Copies of this chain bind each other. A is one copy, B any other.
Amino acid sequence: MPYVNIKITEEGPATAEQKARLIEGVTRLLQDVLGKNPQTTVVVIDEVPTDNWGIGGESITQRRLRSAPPRST
C-alpha cells in the first residue's frame, strides 16, 4: 500500500495519457522492486505553476526567461 506523490511543473502541460502512464509505471515499479500490491498503491500528481517552483535560488519562470530556447527540465 505505498503512497507516491509526484510534483512536476505545469509546463507543457502533461496530458491525461502521460499522467496515466506515470501512474501505471510507478505502480509497476513498486511491485517489481518491493512486491507491493498494485491494487492498494496510491499515486497523486501535483502540477505546480512555474512561478511557484524554485531551483538554484530563482523561480522556473525567471530561469526560462534567461535561457533561449526553452528546455525541458
Contact = CB atoms under 8 A, between A and B. Distances in A.
A19 B52 CA distance: 7
Contact of A41 (B4, B18, B57): B57
Interface residues of A, number: 57
Contacts of A48: 44-46
Given A25-B29, A52-B45, A72-B36, A58 B6 contact: no
Contacts of A5: 4-5
Contacts of A7: 2-4, 44
B54 A23 contact: yes
Contact of A42 (B3, B30, B61, B62): B3
A66 B15 CA distance: 20
